[in-house]
Structure 1
Amino acid sequence: MNLQEDVARLFHSEPALSALLGFEPDEVHNDAQLLAAVLAGLVPDAHARHRVRDLVGEGFAEDSEAVSVALEDLAATAARDLSTDPARVLLFAAGYQGLLSYRASRALFLSGRDTAAAAVKAILGRQLSVDIAPEADIGRRVWLDHGLGVVIGRTTIIEEDVSIWHGVTLGSNFVSMGDRRHPLICKGAVLGGHSIILGGIDIGENAVVAAGAIVTRSVPAGKTVYGPKAAIRDRQPGSFSGFL
């Protein structure tokens, strides 16, 4: 896969892309610069766009592993979405771009630039409708399909080869507030659209969380969990009871 050449071919076939995406392919000289240019192109304001491009480039320069992982994510996304190729995924797939924005903010966070990481997360998250904390630990070859509405909290751990559909929340239950108050998603798990997984629980290897499921207990490896279920009960001692 020569990503830069493939992107250049797309730009050549459709001249409008330069104006729409905010950069020219001959401005980038390596994969890290290309990834930074794509993310920056999401930002409407020209001045902010240039600063985002600089910040993301600096983050990737500090953490070359982040670029390698981002390219693995790209290949995995193209393989699982059979209708497209890596260049089109990079330029047009909001889910991949949401994960890439996390890789960029994470690189800045790991280099000690917490405020820059938060800024990149915020500005790109507004454009992509994702909220992924740079503190979260996300493994290789993850696929965000569509990406819209995905929320991933700070102490979340996601292992390799996980697939996540739109609207998924990996959040806290406001009860278990220890060192890990967000879920662990084990290797190969699949999280269906609009599923909600709360607390420091484990979703086992190759488990499936069906669309719309609300999960507050650990799921064993290889199992499927499904179904939202709301029930009225009295508040228990220690349960979350609001902020008032």
Structure 2
Amino acid sequence: MQALWHLICDQGRKATECNPVLRQYLETRVHAHAGFEQALAANLAQELSAQASNVDLNAWFLSLIKANPAIATGAAADIQHLVAVNPACPDELTAFLSFRGIQAVQAYRLAHTLWQEGDIQSAVLLQNWAANHWSIDIHPAARLGIRLFVDHGIGLVIGETAVVEDDVSLWHGVTLGSTLNESGDRHPKIRRGALLCAGSTVLGNIEVGERAIVAANAVVLKPVLAGVVVAGTPAKVVSNVPAVLETLKPQSQGQ
């Protein structure tokens, strides 16, 4: 994580040299902070300040991040993964400062920590502040992995008992919801490396298997096997995942 922070700072200095108009912005968002954790807390606080007037979000968020190192570790993994897989993201600085998918997922990580600690009201408040600001609504009880690619993110909804494993890609307008015919564990389980394309909907306590692809606007009502492509309403298998994509194996948990 320290190497990532040094890289972000270096990219910030180069951005300032390229466009001096951004000097004060980059000073406030990057160079004024002692490390990645401090900058992460401050940037999330700045983004959500209009939603929570008179609340010292910076100190609150930093205390959560320091007490729960997995928050910053997850943020760093998401940033590095985004730069690796998204040609629209030029560098780590841009991912950190500009991509709503990165920012909203880190706000979720804070809310999830609060939920696990039993501070349900604060967790739901933070969930709603984030949803109002980024148009991405992730329930704080949902379980999300790392190296997530939340592309654009606008309209993404993830329900309370959903599970999203490592290396999953979620595009804008994706819904991981319930059928309203279930109680308790009622939301989808998205396994490692799966890709859910724009506008797709997965309903109920069903599984989308590893490296499966759900096509744009598909409605998934039944489990999806690993390594297949499903499309349509209701979704049906249309092919296996292309071989070129099968060669892009998810990273191991230890990397």
Shared fold, TM over 0.5: yes
Alpha-carbon spacing, 1:46–1:128, altered in 2? closer, same or farther (3 Å): closer
Q: Classify 1:138/1:10 alpha carbon distance in 2 versus 1 (closer, same or farther; 3 Å).
A: farther
Aligned counterpart, 1:43: 48
Q: Does 1:167 align with 2:188?
A: no
- Which amino acid letter does the alignment assign opposite residue 142 of structure 1? L
TM-score, length-scaled by structure 1: 0.85
Note if 1:108 corresponds to 2:111: no
Work out whether residues 174 and 198 of structure 2, in 8 Å CA contact, stay in contact via their aligned partners in 1: yes
Give the stretch that moved more between structures: 212-221 or 33-42: 33-42
Partner of 1:135: 141
Q: Secondary structure at the match of 2:202?
A: strand
1:67-126 per-residue CA deviation (whole Å, 9 max, x = no partner) reads 111110111111111232111011011121121211221223233332222222211221
How many angstroms does 1:41 deviate by? 2.1
C-alpha separation in 2, matches of 1:46 and 1:196: 28
Q: Deviations over 1:35-64 (max 9, x none)?
A: 112212213539738622222212212211
Question: Which runs of no fewer than 5 residues in structure 1 stay unpaired?
Answer: 231-244
Q: 1:92 aligns with which of 94, 98, 102?
A: 98
* Pairwise CA distance, 1:22: 9.8
Partner amino acid, structure 1, of 2:72: V
Q: Any conservation in 2 of the 1:131–1:152 contact (CA below 8 Å)?
A: yes
In the other structure, the counterpart of 1:79 is 84
Aligned to 1:58: 63
Cα distance change on mapping 1:117 and 1:10 into 2, 3 Å: farther
Task: Provide the aligned C-alpha RMSD in A.
Answer: 2.4
Task: Please report how far the alpha carbon of residue 223 of structure 1 lies from its aligned counterpart in structure 2 after TM superposition.
Answer: 0.9
**Deviation sequence 1:4-23 (CA, Å, 0-9, x none):** 41464266344554776893
Q: Which residue of 2 aligns with 1:29?
A: 34
Task: Check conservation: 2:124, 2:140, Cα contact below 8 A.
Answer: yes
Name 2:16's counterpart in structure 1: 12
The AA in structure 1 aligned to 2:16 is H
Q: Which residue of 1 aligns with 2:241?
A: none
Counterparts in 2 of 1:191-206, with a 5 A limit? 191-206=196-211
Matched, 1:209 2:214: yes
State the alpha-carbon separation in 1 of the partners of residues 197 and 102 from structure 2: 16
Q: Which whole-Å CA distance do the structure 2 matches of 1:120 and 1:18 have between them?
A: 30
> Number of aligned pairs?
229
Unaligned ranges ≥5, structure 2: 236-255
Q: Specify the alignment match of 1:157 in structure 2.
A: 163
Identity %: 34
Which moved further from structure 2: 145-154 or 22-31? 22-31
Q: Are the counterparts in 2 of residues 23 and 41 from structure 1 also a CA contact under 8 Å?
A: no
